[in-house]
Structure 1
Amino acid sequence: MTYNRFRLTASLYALMSISFWGVSFVSTKAVLGKLDPYSILVLRFGIGTLFLLSLLLMQRTRLKISIQYIPHLMILGILGVFVHQVLQATALLTINASSAGWLISLSPIFTVILSILFLHEKMSMTKAAGMVLAITGVLLVTTTRSGQSFQITLNIGLFLMILSTLNWAVYSVLLKSLKIPYSPLLVTFYSSLLGLILTTPFIIRNRGWESLSLLTHTEWAHLLFLGVFVSGVAYWYWGKALEILEASKVSMFLYLEPLSTLIAAVLLLEEKVLFISAAGGIIIIIGVIVVNGQLVPMLFSLLKNKRP
């Protein structure tokens, strides 16, 4: 019973992380009217780094790391934090938040492909069918209704968002193959710190600090949310979930991220969602679930844990 309770707690941690990440598209979109993407990232990494540092100090965790793992942390920080976030923030300049949330669920598809190529995992008919479903869903999400015809809306934002999902897949494969003997909280801290260092020159070049006085209380609240909850709490809780559950089971929660984004976009940004976009998003989720084949086992596990 205790073990099942731990599993349920870990599932809640993962669900909260996904919820924060899903809303992050909406918060970023809400602030882009006043700040450029790089200034947002600098502020986000700065707030997140200070928050993570405070957690480490409260836990009395040693900040010293072995020099042999510095290259590993730099690679993970550059790909998983700096490049990934720059791509997504720039993409949100030309696409809406709900589309970004749907497209990010392509990441597991790319992860499967890279795992087959570099980790020697096998491809099955089920995985192939799931990838076809997901690709079909993406085409529907990026389609807009024009009179009685349908037109694919292609722009640089769409390309950058898809590129960010591929980048995240590369990062995930590297994270799986590299073995860093430190807590997820410490690894996240150094990754966030590296992101802050790499993006600071951009805010200096763009003189982004001049726009800070134009921010409203609501926009500052979005920035604090991005720093504390998205860059801090979400990664921390994701690590806590991975301490108990298998990585494949934790990754299943990624499929719920687009739903979080869509709900937040409708409630906070008052975005309109066409039926075809919603249908495409559902197809994407079904596709990535079919790829991993984990939905039914997870449901049985949750129902079993609820039994007295």
Structure 2
Amino acid sequence: MPPSQPFSRPLVFAALLAVVLFWGLNVVVMKAAFVHWNPLGFTGLRFLAMVPLALGIARLRGESLRIELRDLPALLICAACGYGVYQYFYVIGLAHTTVFASALLSSLTPVFTLMLAVAMGLERSRTGRWIGAIIALFGVAVFEGAFAGRATIRLGDALTLVGAMIFAGYNVFAGRLLSRYSPTSLIAITITLGALMIAPGGLWGLAHQDFARLRVSDWFLMLYSVIFPMVIGYQLWSWGISKIGAGATSIFNFGVPIVAGFAGVMFLSMPVTRYEILGAAICIAGMAAAQVLARYSFTGLWTQLTVPAER
């Protein structure tokens, strides 16, 4: 549908809520899969299935997969930060923490993206966004029990947090490449390159996989993790961005840890403490505030209020 044609905003919102559901449930699905699947073996097979699907979707949509030589370093960085290196931290982290912690800490990527973009001189951020980022990081401290006398950072939490920092590199470099590559082409190319980086760990995981333990349900978990978050989810997400913009679409991402938390309690009997709920609420509120207040500079506002107007 061309952008100039009318579209149903409720339909777009419904599609984005479906994506939030797919992504939130996927954290629970992967955690459940790791009971019988070797985490790295699961990831290796998952990407083995995702590569032809991503390439096939790009071809069906008539997208070019041609790589310009000057873009190869940036594409390799995107592949590593978005998939190849990131997945090692994310998957091993998820295997050693709760689905709630994994989803919440992973959702901090926009905060780290902001920090990286500013550090590289690619973006100037307004005060409002920094205030939201500080609130979000404070929420993580509360979540980890820093103010409840139980401050213990689990190995999985640390790995997931590092993974969120690494994924910020994908956002920054992908943003620079999207002027020459379509989102579908960029995903297909970087997934393919990232799969090559995942292959060594995937092969190691499969070599240590006890296939006799796998049930039919374990293969269905794999199928869900390939089709719904990737094939359906990313396409709906991109469609949402094309209709209502990246800023409005990104607000929906804050629902992922909420879905993951509820699903973890319902399906995995995951224990959740009061300070984790409070910390998660503060963190999500901070990230939402960073988006809403992104256009405001409180320094400029203060200047306007305190400097007398010229008459």
Is the shorter-chain TM-score for this pair beyond 0.5, marking a shared fold?
A: yes
TM-score, normalization by structure 1: 0.83
Larger Rg: 2
CA 60–290 in structure 1, closer or farther in 2 if over 3 Å, else same: closer
CA distance in 2, matches of 1:83, 1:31: 21
What's the offset of the Cα at 1:287?
0.5
The residue aligned with 2:98 is 96
Q: Percent identity?
A: 22
The residue aligned with 1:115 is 117
8 Å CA contact 1:35–1:208 kept in 2: the answer is no
**Aligned counterpart in structure 1 of residue 48 of structure 2, from 37, 42, 46:** 46
8 Å CA contact 2:85–2:198 kept in 1: the answer is no
CA distance in 2, matches of 1:4, 1:102: 35
CA 82–132 in structure 1, closer or farther in 2 if over 3 Å, else same: same
What's the offset of the Cα at 1:167?
1.4
CA 98–144 in structure 1, closer or farther in 2 if over 3 Å, else same: farther
The residue aligned with 1:167 is 166
The residue aligned with 1:203 is 202
- Please give the per-residue CA displacement for 1:70-123, whole angstroms capped at 9, x wherever unaligned: 444332122111222221101112211111111122222222222333223133
The residue aligned with 1:79 is 81
What's the offset of the Cα at 1:180?
4.8
The residue aligned with 2:192 is 193
CA distance in 2, matches of 1:85, 1:70: 20
Partner amino acid, structure 1, of 2:144: T
8 Å CA contact 2:44–2:199 kept in 1: the answer is yes
TM-score, normalization by structure 2: 0.82
8 Å CA contact 1:102–1:281 kept in 2: the answer is yes
Partner amino acid, structure 1, of 2:165: L
**Aligned counterpart in structure 2 of residue 131 of structure 1, from 108, 130, 133:** 133
Partner amino acid, structure 1, of 2:106: I
CA distance in 1, matches of 2:140, 2:237: 26
The answer to whether 1:240 aligns with 2:265 is no
8 Å CA contact 1:69–1:180 kept in 2: the answer is no
Number of residues of Structure 1 aligned to a counterpart in Structure 2 = 291
The secondary structure found in structure 1 opposite 2:113 is helix
CA distance in 2, matches of 1:233, 1:51: 11
The secondary structure found in structure 2 opposite 1:164 is helix
The answer to whether 1:293 aligns with 2:295 is no
CA distance in 2, matches of 1:120, 1:196: 30
What's the offset of the Cα at 1:25?
1.7
- Please give the per-residue CA displacement for 1:32-71, whole angstroms capped at 9, x wherever unaligned: 2223222111111122223334434544555444444444
The residue aligned with 2:277 is 278
The residue aligned with 2:264 is 265
Partner amino acid, structure 2, of 1:152: A
What's the offset of the Cα at 1:195?
2.7
Q: Which runs of 5+ in 2 are unaligned?
A: 295-311
The residue aligned with 1:303 is none
CA distance in 1, matches of 2:72, 2:11: 32
CA distance in 2, matches of 1:114, 1:140: 24
